[in-house]
Structure formats: C-alpha cells, structure tokens
C-alpha cells in the first residue's frame, strides 16, 4: 500500500478547486452550536455594557477559527465527549479579550469591516470587558475540570501577552529581522492555535504523541495564518477582506513583507521603509509605492512561500492519523489559510 501524501503545492496546470473552510465547518457544525450556546450564556452579566460590547466582537462575523480547531482536533482523534465545548468557548474568550486589548494598544478603528469597540465605547470599556472575558475564560476552564488543560491555556495566555509586549517594544524598528518577527507571531498568534488543538487530546486523555502532533498542527497553521494576514495587508482592500489594506503600513508595523523588501532594497528604498515605519510616510501615495516595492522585491510572494512552508508542516504533523473526513477537512483548512491571498 502506498502512503497517501498530502502536499500543498499542486502541479502546474492542476485545476484543483479553491480550498475552503466549508468541509471543516460542516463537520463540526453540531459541536459549534453547543460552543456558541456556552459563549452566549457566559457573556451575560448584570452590567448591560458587558454583553453589548463583547457581543459586538463575538457576534461580529469572526470565523471562530480557534474553537473550530479544538472541535476538529477532537474529531480527528475520535473523541466523542463534551468536555471540550467549554474549553473551546474559553479559547474564543481568550482570543476576544486579546483582540479588545490589541485594538486599544494599536489605536485601531476598524476590524472585520466594522468599527472597533474602542472607537464605539472607548478604551476604558474595551480594557475592562477584555478583563471580564479573560476571567470568564478561566471560569470555563475550571468547569472543564482538567488541570492539564488549564495549565496549557494559562501558559498560552502568558505567552500571548509576552508576545504582545515583545511586539510593542519592537514597534517601528525597521531592523527587526525575520527571527524576532517569527518569535512575535509564534507567541501572539500560533501559541493559542497550538493550545486550542492540543487541549482536545488532553481532555480525551490521549498520549503525549497525539498531543504533540495536534500542538504542531495548530502552531504551524497559526504561523501560516499570520504570515498570510501580514501579506494580505499589501495586496487586498477593505472591500474584499474587511480589513483595510495598508493598515499595517500606516501603523508602521514591521511585518515580513516589510522585512524582506527592506533587506532586498536599494539604499533609497531602505530609506523609504525606515521613514515609513518611523511614521514619516503614511499617505495613499506612500502606500502605493510600498505595494510596488514589496511586489517588485517579491516580498509578498516570499512571505506567502514561507506561509506554505509552515502550512505543509502543519499537514505533515497530522500525517500519522488515519484517513478520515476530519483529517481531510483539517488539511483543506490549511490549504484555505494559505490560499486566502491569491
């Protein structure tokens, strides 16, 4: 019997259909309803501003990527219990709390095509409702009665916060370099993806090997996901993605497209990038020039190539699991994640 090899890059001319999250969402739709019920229940508070503000973001069209991963991972390993529902909701709350605080930290005004909570209700409310959701997430974890899952998720939360502080102290430094950039995105994005997947194996009480495989799937997918996000800022527009193209550029964020374009640029181009990340280049014309530079230096192409590398590693991390609809859907989710920018 020949091993089935799943590869991200299709041969030239292969008319492979556009990958989608559809199969994964269909697979876990029933579980996700349960998770959504937990989420809605635990957003409640006698203080009306809390569900109002939290609901703006939670009901606001996010893909629920992270709880989806917990649910898919549970399917992959054949877990049929319900202990992971509360944990999946907890993961979404951690993520939402992080988004609320991120938008305060970055002063963002638009997320997923909607005005951010900090713009509507102000920074103080966003900080405090983030804290509330964060606390609620721990209450949910406690109810799942797994100290190991608690350890993994509290550890991931600390790593996320460290990653955010690392990013903050690296802000507007054109000399960031790819390694430190990777450290930051591993901490602020990939750690929660990894934890979301790993906890499925924890509550199912599988062994360390399955935990590690799911962790690696989530971590590599998370890195790929963030790389593509950072590439999209230089190729898409608000109409298609609900994210303002050029947001990262205007905020002076040093992402991989910038790091590569800077490294590969002429002296004059480097000056442009340094000026841009230090806040002296933020007009539409500047952004158009930046898009031109990242294209000509193949910085976006190579950011996406890096994403495919981590995507392939995610797929290989779960190669050991037998074929199943869950496995197919998780592989297609990776293909979807890395194909978003095309």
Given the rule CB under 8 A, which residues bind a copy of itself?
45-50, 97-98, 101, 104-106, 123-125, 127-132, 134-136, 138-139, 141-143, 145, 147, 150-151, 154-155, 157-158, 160-162, 164-166, 168-169
Min CB(307)–a copy of itself separation in Å: 25
Residue nearer to a copy of itself on the CB measure, 22 or 107: 107
- Supply the minimum distance, in Å, between the C-beta of residue 36 and a copy of itself: 20
Residues 6 or more apart in contact with residue 133 via CB below 8 angstroms: 43, 54, 93, 94, 96, 97, 100
CB of 172 to a copy of itself, least distance (A): 12
Burial 254-279 (b: 16+ CB within 10 A, else e): bbbbbbbbbebbeeebeebbbebbee
Query: Smallest distance from the beta carbon of 261 to a copy of itself, in angstroms?
Result: 26
162/301 with CB nearer a copy of itself: 162
A 10 A CB-CB count for 46 gives 6
Q: What's the min distance (Å) between Cβ of 171 and a copy of itself?
A: 9
Cβ nearer to a copy of itself, comparing 156 with 294:
156
**CB nearer a copy of itself, residue 192 or residue 329:** 192
Which C-beta is closer to a copy of itself: that of 168 or that of 238?
Answer: 168
Q: Residue 130 or 257: which CB sits closer to a copy of itself?
A: 130
Q: Shortest Cβ distance from residue 125 to a copy of itself (Å)?
A: 6
Residue 106 or 229 with smaller CB distance to a copy of itself: 106
**CA 180 to CA 282: how far, in whole Å?**
24
Question: Smallest Cα–Cα separation from 285: which of 252, 236, 250, 251?
Answer: 250
Residue-by-residue DSSP string for 247-288: HHHHTT---HHHHHHHHHS-HHHHHHHHHHHTTS--SHHHHH
Classify each residue of 203-236 as buried b or exposed e, where b means 16 or more C-beta atoms within 10 Å of its C-beta: bbebeeebbebbbbbbbbbbbbbbbbbbbbbbbb
Smallest separation, CB 141 to a copy of itself (Å) = 8
Quick one: how far is CA 57 from the chain centroid? 15
Instruction: Using DSSP, state whether 110 is helix, strand or coil.
Output: strand
Q: How far is CA 258 from CA 222, 266, 282, 309, 335, in A?
A: 20, 13, 14, 19, 24
Q: Could you please report the per-residue DSSP string of 159-170?
A: HHHHHHHHHHHT
Residue 174 beta carbon to a copy of itself: minimum distance, rounded to whole angstroms: 20
Comparing CB distances to a copy of itself, the nearer of 129 and 214 is 129
- Count CB-CB contacts under 10 A for residue 15: 5
């Amino acid at each position: 019997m020949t091993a089935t090899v799943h590869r991200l890059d299709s041969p030239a001319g292969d008319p492979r259909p556009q990958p989608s999250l559809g199969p994964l969402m269909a697979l876990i739709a029933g579980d996700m309803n349960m998770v959504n019920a937990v989420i809605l229940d635990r957003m409640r508070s006698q203080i009306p501003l809390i569900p109002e503000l939290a609901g703006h973001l939670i009901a606001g069209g996010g893909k629920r990527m992270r709880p989806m991963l917990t649910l898919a991972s549970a399917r992959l390993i054949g877990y049929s219990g319900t202990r992971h529902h509360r944990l999946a909701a907890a993961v979404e709350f951690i993520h939402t709390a992080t988004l609320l605080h991120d938008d305060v930290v970055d002063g963002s005004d638009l997320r997923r095509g909607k005005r951010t909570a900090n713009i509507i209700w102000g920074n103080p409310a966003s900080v405090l409702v983030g804290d509330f959701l964060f606390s609620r997430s721990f209450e949910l974890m406690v109810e799942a009665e797994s100290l190991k899952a608690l350890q993994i998720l509290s550890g991931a939360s600390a790593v996320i916060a460290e990653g955010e502080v690392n990013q903050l102290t690296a802000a507007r430094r054109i000399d960031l370099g790819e390694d430190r950039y990777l450290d930051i995105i591993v901490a602020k994005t990939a750690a929660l993806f990894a934890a979301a997947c790993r906890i499925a194996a924890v509550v199912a009480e599988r062994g360390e090997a399955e935990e590690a495989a799911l962790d690696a799937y989530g971590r590599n997918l998370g890195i790929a996901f963030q790389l593509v996000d950072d590439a999209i800022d230089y190729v898409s527009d608000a109409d298609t993605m609900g994210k303002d193209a050029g947001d990262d550029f205007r905020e002076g964020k040093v992402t991989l497209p910038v790091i590569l374009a800077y490294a590969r640029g002429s002296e004059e181009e480097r000056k442009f990038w340094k000026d841009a990340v230090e806040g002296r280049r933020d007009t539409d014309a500047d952004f158009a020039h930046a898009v031109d530079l990242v294209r000509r230096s193949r910085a976006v192409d190579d950011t996406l190539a890096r994403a495919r590398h981590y995507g392939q590693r995610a797929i290989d991390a779960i190669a050991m699991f037998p074929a199943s609809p869950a496995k197919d859907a998780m592989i297609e989710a990776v293909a979807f994640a890395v194909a978003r920018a095309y």
